[in-house]
């Protein structure tokens, strides 16, 4: 174990003890009978389980009457020290001040009254077992009840139970119910669903248990850690976790910092001979000196003292991490801690917001009087297809090395990020890294395509290439604007999706298709150089998400100096954005998509050149971008008209009408036959809808949204019939 870290942990323990913040005492803890150690509240997972609710009769002393209680844990009856009822519950008024006999062991216990009791639950009478229930413990403290610990550390019954000694608690549950039934104490048994705590370490059912432990007082130490998160001095991303943090910090209990484990930082408390009294010191030599002073016995030696067997909770060392990693506890003024503390960002899972994040903030203000980090970015939890948290214990974690072997490191990173918004859980599926791998292939193939082109300075730059470059420059700046905002807001998944779509859709599907030279033909040098520059900038945008493939391609774009890396390259700068150009280009993309759709529907090869006629109304029409339509939609020429064009297929984009004359491009008879078949089907569909709407009973009894849906079907069918009839009329 690191000596500097150990020294830091021990030094902090002693400091907090001397400040009166650490104490040793018997308190109710979460006990893991399998690991035989206390665990914190945050290490308990609560699950809904199918249980039984047992109604048990307790005899009232010196009478033949009984009071009935309801419990899910009949085995704890052996530790009962009272029965409690609500003071205003008239059913039990006559029992006030009476004594009750605990079944099977005939222990005499008082009937107490307290407003804590829920009169509506069970029978309204509550058994009180202070040693094995936190609420019962608090009632026991309030009413000065004794606590009888009936469980050994391993979950078997102790001598104090009087019955079933040495048997496991769950075996005893069956045995005691049988015995209670035999002696006439069971009134009834009902099925009951309740929440039960399970240990995160071993998945054993947690046993609330009184135990001698070491605790850190939290009331004061949490104050600056809470105030500075609420005021956004420390900012949580996403901000929803601030409320969760606030609730926990405002209701925090003293931190049980001791564990009954074999491994960890041993608590630096040394017990005096034949005594529970102790001294706290960072080594045995100092402990001996303190023991001599405390006892006045100068003959004491190291052999006379015994160090506490418990070790510190692992988070008691982890909470010092931002400080101890720079030796800031042992050497608080060293140059490293002054330079690196505080830092900017912490990235972590939201499941350890209390284990680690809150406690690091507490330690930061306690020992540096400053926050440890300015921002906390909470990642989503990766879960399996059943929604379970991935863990070694469940064996539901895929082997990351196998995933990387199959999909590549970049593919796995992208797959996780694409579907993992900040703080949101992610159900793992192999399709995710597969999607990341496919994106990597897209980047590689697009880059290879560009590198295959042969630039020639003598070739004049085509008009469509000039337009493509101007548009993409503006699109790049617009995308960088969005990307910067998303990164500033820690929306990492959205940021990746922005770059993902920009590369796949805008660069590969539109820009490269627009500037691509004819098959086996050279490309003009101006366009080629600009395209390589665009690729360079795109790789920089992608690098934080896909470091390996981007570095590899970036190194091959140009001759790099030794040690030069894309990791040090700046992101693209934002230039002035021509929003009108971006809107106009989107308009042309929609026109191109409409033409491609017509060609597909009419079985016209996409490479087949067609004529496009634009009907000019009062709308503004940007003819300067027409070369884009001609290049990408296979349009030979674009004409303009003021009249409707007969015998052509039309579509509308942004209130402008476009016509595609089919001429001899399609088989007229086949097209008529196809349209007539579609018209016949649509008329039949409309008739079935009209039949439903004509049924008065259906219209009155069906839900409004169902009737509305049928009316929508009617309107859509009528519109389609009108369009089909118009097309048939034009063809005939």
Residue 670: in which H helix or E strand, if any? helix 668-693
Q: What pLDDT score does 667 carry?
A: 65
DSSP β-bridge partners for residue 256 = 215
Q: In Å, how far are 308, 410, 413, 539 from 432, measured between CA atoms?
A: 50, 12, 9, 21
Which residue among 210, 238, 254 closes a domain? 210
163 in a domain, yes or no?
Answer: yes
In 3-state terms, the chain is what percent helix, strand and coil (to 5)? 45, 20, 35
Is the predicted pLDDT of residue 727 greater than 80, yes or no? no
Residues 513 and 640 in one domain: no
Q: Are residues 499 and 588 in the same domain?
A: no
- Asked if residue 484 belongs to a domain, the reply is yes
**If you ran DSSP here, which 8-state letter would residue 97 be given?**
T
- CA 417 to centroid of chain Cα atoms: 11
Q: Which domain holds residue 111?
A: 38-210
Q: Do 246 and 200 belong to one domain?
A: no
Residues 6+ positions from 721 with CB-CB distance below 8 Å:
679, 682, 683, 686
Shared domain check, 315 and 205: no
The arithmetic mean of pLDDT across residues 386-411, rounded, is: 84
Q: Average pLDDT of 178-194?
A: 94
Residue 207, beta-bridge partner list: 31
Q: Is residue 656 part of a domain?
A: yes
Residue 460 per-residue DSSP state: P
Does 251 share its domain with 159?
Answer: no
- 570 CB-near residues (< 8 Å, 6+ apart): 540
> Phi-psi category of 654—alpha, beta or left, where left has phi over 0 and alpha has psi -120 to 50?
left
In a domain, 707, yes or no: yes
Q: Are 44 and 185 part of one and the same domain? A: yes
Any domain includes 405: no
Alpha carbon 395 to chain centroid distance?
A: 20
Domain CATH code at residue 184: 3.90.740.10
Q: From CA 153, how far away is CA 136, in angstroms rounded?
A: 20
Q: Are 21 and 221 in contact (CB under 8 A)?
A: yes
| Total-model pTM | 0.73
Q: Do residues 48 and 184 both lie within one domain?
A: yes
As to burial, measured by CB atoms within 10 angstroms (0-12 exposed, 13-18 middle, 19+ buried), residue 111 is buried
- Domain with residue 342: its CATH number is 3.40.50.620
Residues 258 and 355 in one domain: yes
Domain-terminating residue out of 210, 232, 260: 210
- Are 201 and 101 in a shared domain? yes
pLDDT in tens, 600-656: 888 788 888 889 999 887 667 888 999 999 999 999 999 998 888 877 888 888 888
For 37-74, write each residue's pLDDT tens digit: 998 888 888 999 999 999 999 999 989 899 999 999 99
Predicted confidence (pLDDT) per residue in 120-138, tens digit: 888 999 999 999 998 999 9
Residue 540: which CATH number? Answer: 1.10.730.10
| Mean pLDDT for the stretch of residues 404-415 | 94
- Contacts of residue 421, defined as CB under 8 A and 6 or more positions apart, other chains included, come to 380, 491, 493, 494
Instruction: Give, as one character, the DSSP assignment of residue 256.
Output: E
pLDDT, average across residues 97-115: 94
Does residue 116 sit in the same domain as residue 83?
yes
Backbone angles phi, psi at 378, to 5 degrees: -95, 120
pLDDT score recorded for residue 1: 47
Query: 123 in a domain, yes or no?
Result: yes
* pLDDT at residue 254 tops 70: yes
Pair (480, 592) in one structural domain:
no
Domain count of the fold of the chain? 5
Burial status of residue 460 (CB atoms within 10 A of its CB: 0-12, 13-18, 19 or more): exposed
Beta-bridge partner residues of 215: 23, 256
Q: Do 117 and 55 belong together in one domain?
A: yes
Non-local CB neighbours of 252 within 8 Å, separated by 6+ positions = 218, 222
Per residue in 257-287, pLDDT (tens digit) is 999 988 899 999 999 998 889 999 999 999 9
Give helix then strand counts, H and E, for the chain.
23, 27
Residue 252 confidence (pLDDT):
92
More confident residue, 460 or 350: 460
Which CATH number goes with the domain that contains 699? 1.10.287
Q: In CATH, what number is assigned to the domain containing residue 592?
A: 3.30.2320
635 forms bridges with which residues in the sheet? Answer: 610
The enclosing H or E element of 419 equals: none
421: helix, coil or strand?
Answer: coil
3-state secondary structure of 545: coil
Domain finish residue from 514, 540, 574: 574
d(CA 707, CA 693): 8
Quick check: is 418 in a domain? Answer: no
Q: Quote the pLDDT of residue 529.
A: 97
Strand pairing class (523-524; 455-456):
parallel
Query: Does the residue 292 lie in any domain?
Result: no
């Amino acid at each position: 174990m690191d000596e500097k870290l150990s020294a830091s942990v021990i030094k902090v323990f002693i400091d907090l003890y001397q400040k009166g913040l650490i104490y040793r005492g018997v308190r109710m803890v979460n006990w893991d009978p399998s690991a035989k150690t206390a665990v914190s509240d945050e290490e308990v997972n609560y699950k809904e389980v199918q249980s039984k609710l047992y109604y048990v009769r307790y005899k009232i002393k010196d009478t033949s009457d009984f009071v009935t209680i309801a419990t899910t844990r009949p085995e704890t009856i052996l530790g009962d020290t009272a029965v409690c009822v609500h003071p205003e519950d008239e059913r039990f008024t006559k029992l006030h001040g009476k004594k009750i006999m605990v079944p099977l062991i005939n222990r005499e216990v008082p009937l107490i009254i307290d407003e804590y009791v829920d009169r509506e639950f069970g029978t309204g009478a509550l058994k009180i077992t202070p040693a094995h229930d936190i609420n019962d413990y608090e009632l026991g403290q309030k009413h000065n009840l004794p606590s009888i610990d009936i469980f050994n550390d391993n979950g078997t019954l102790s001598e104090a139970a009087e019955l079933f000694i040495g048997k496991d608690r769950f075996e005893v549950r069956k045995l005691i119910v049988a015995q209670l039934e035999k002696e006439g104490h069971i009134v009834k048994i009902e099925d009951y669903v309740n929440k039960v705590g399970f240990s995160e370490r071993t998945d054993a059912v947690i046993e609330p248990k009184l135990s001698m432990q070491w605790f850190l007082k939290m009331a004061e130490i949490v104050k600056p850690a809470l105030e500075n998160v609420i005021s956004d001095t420390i900012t949580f991303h996403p901000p929803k976790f601030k409320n969760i943090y606030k609730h926990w910090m405002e209701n925090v209990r003293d931190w049980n910092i001791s564990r009954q484990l074999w491994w960890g930082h041993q608590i630096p408390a040394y017990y005096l001979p034949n005594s529970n009294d102790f001294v706290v010191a960072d080594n045995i030599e100092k402990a001996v000196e303190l023991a001599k002073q405390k006892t006045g016995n100068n003959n004491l030696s190291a052999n006379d003292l015994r160090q506490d067997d418990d070790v510190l909770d692992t988070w008691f060392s982890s909470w010092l991490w931002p400080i101890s990693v720079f030796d800031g506890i042992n050497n608080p003024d060293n140059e490293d801690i002054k330079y690196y503390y505080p830092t900017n960002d912490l990235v972590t899972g939201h499941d350890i917001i209390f284990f680690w994040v809150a406690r690091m903030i507490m330690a930061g203000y306690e020992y540096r009087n400053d926050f440890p980090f300015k921002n906390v970015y909470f990642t989503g939890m990766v879960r399996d297809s059943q929604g379970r948290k991935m863990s070694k214990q469940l064996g539901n974690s895929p082997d990351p090395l196998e995933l990387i072997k199959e999909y590549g490191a970049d593919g796995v990173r992208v797959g996780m990020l694409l579907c993992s918004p900040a703080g949101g859980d992610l159900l793992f599926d192999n399709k995710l890294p597969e999607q990341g791998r496919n994106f990597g292939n897209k980047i590689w193939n697009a880059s290879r395509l560009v590198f295959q082109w042969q630039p020639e300075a003598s070739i004049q730059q085509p008009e469509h290439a000039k337009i493509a470059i101007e548009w993409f420059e503006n699109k790049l700046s617009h995308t960088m604007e969005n990307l910067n905002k998303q990164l500033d807001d820690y929306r990492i998944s959205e940021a990746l999706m922005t770059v993902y779509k920009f590369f796949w859709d805008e660069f590969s599907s539109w820009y490269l298709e627009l500037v691509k030279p004819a098959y086996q033909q050279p490309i003009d040098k101006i366009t080629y150089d600009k395209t390589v520059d665009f690729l360079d900038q795109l790789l920089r945008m992608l690098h934080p998400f896909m470091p390996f493939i981007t570095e590899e391609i970036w190194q091959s774009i140009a001759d790099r100096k030794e040690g030069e890396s894309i990791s040090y390259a700046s992101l693209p700068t934002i230039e002035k954005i021509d929003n009108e150009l971006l809107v106009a280009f989107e308009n042309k993309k929609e026109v191109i998509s409409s033409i491609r759709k017509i060609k597909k529907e009419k079985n016209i090869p996409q490479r087949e050149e067609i004529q496009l006629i634009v009907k000019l109304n009062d709308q503004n029409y940007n003819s300067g971008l027409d070369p884009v339509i001609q290049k990408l939609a296979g349009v030979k020429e674009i004409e303009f008209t003021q009249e409707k064009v007969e015998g052509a297929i039309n579509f509308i984009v942004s209130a402008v009408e476009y016509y595609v004359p089919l001429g001899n491009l399609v088989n007229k008879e086949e097209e008529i036959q196809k349209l007539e078949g579609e018209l016949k089907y649509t008329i039949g569909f409309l008739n079935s809808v009209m039949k439903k709407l004509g049924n008065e009973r259906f219209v009155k009894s069906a839900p409004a949204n169902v009737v509305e849906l049928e009316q929508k079907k009617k309107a859509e069918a009528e519109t389609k019939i009108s369009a089909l009839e118009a097309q048939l009329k034009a063809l005939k």
